[in-house]
Amino acid sequence: MTVINETAGIALKGEIEQMAARVFEHEALRNEFYDRWTTRSLSAEEVRAFAVEYLSRTIRTSEMVALSVVNTADRTARVECVKNLYSEYGGGNPKKVHLTLLEDFLEDLLTRVSGRPVTIDELYGEPPLPSTRSFSSGQLELFSADDQRVVQGALLAQEWLAYSMMVRLYEGVRNYKHCYHSEEDFHEHCEYFYIHIGEAEKEHRIQAVESASQVCADPTDLSRVRAGFDGFLDLTVEYWRGVAARMREAGDLARGLENRAHAAAVPAARLR
């Protein structure tokens, strides 16, 4: 096992942080999906389209973090990855596992906006888009790479995108506060976001920089980290493009059905 020199890794830490900060101006965060999600209340069909794709994307997040542990040789870097994984699994509390909190949130939100009970099994039963499947397969390839530097680059991108993604998703969810009985009711059902925005993703970003630093001793190492980082960003861009397109189609279909129903109702009303 090759262990990267700790001092050399720390010397490149500033460059790794600069690389990570690129996500804030990248299409992975500045895109049509976030514009739609954060600026308006969408139809139940559009929210469902998002939920199916996001659930399919997120179900493997903890597995990818686990792979980052397995496929990273540096022991210190592994420690940082393990901290991340422990957080993903609720710090040892099964009820606080991040995927469990997401399932509970999506089931509740869709039930409210749809006006009927919606189960998480329904969402799991809907096939995701090819672009979402491509994201998942590409993500697996990056996190299973036999080069620990590529793995750490992918993890760096995943964790630095995650905090900003959670902030934007939460801002969009606020458009549905009218579906809840009170402010308290709304906030009680948003634990998935508060865990991430409050501490988890902030810590994950720090841990990702630390673990990437541990596998960087020179510019060649840094370029391999960048390859994993850029690869994850590219996958994310295509994923959100697909989600936005599916939501547009779902919204257009819902509006078309609504318009036809309205058109049919007008003559009937005149006859009365």
Q: Tell me the per-residue pLDDT of 36-59, one tens digit each, with 9 for 90 and over.
A: 999 999 999 999 999 999 999 999
- Among candidate residues 25, 89, 66, the one with its CA nearest the CA of residue 151: 66
Place of tokens 């006006």: 115
The residue-averaged pLDDT of 87-112 equals 94
Triad 27, 20, 15: Cα angle to 5°: 135
Confidence check: pLDDT of 262 > 60 = no
The residue-averaged pLDDT of 17-35 equals 96
Tell me the residue length of the chain.
Answer: 272
Confidence of residue 84 (pLDDT cuts 50, 70, 90): confident
- Contacting residues for 161 by C-beta, under 8 A, at least 6 apart: 23, 28, 29, 232, 233, 236
Confidence check: pLDDT of 269 > 60 = no
Domains of the chain: 6-259 (1.20.910.10)
CB 102 within 8 A of CB 192: yes
* pLDDT tens digits, 163-214: 899 999 999 999 999 999 999 999 999 999 998 887 666 788 888 999 999 9
Side chain identity, residue 107: E
What distances in angstroms separate CA 16 from CA 114, 184, 200, 201, one per listed residue? 44, 40, 20, 17
3-state helix, strand, coil in the chain (%, to 5): 80, 0, 20
Record the pTM. 0.87
How far is it, in rounded angstroms, from Cα 131 to Cα 272?
50
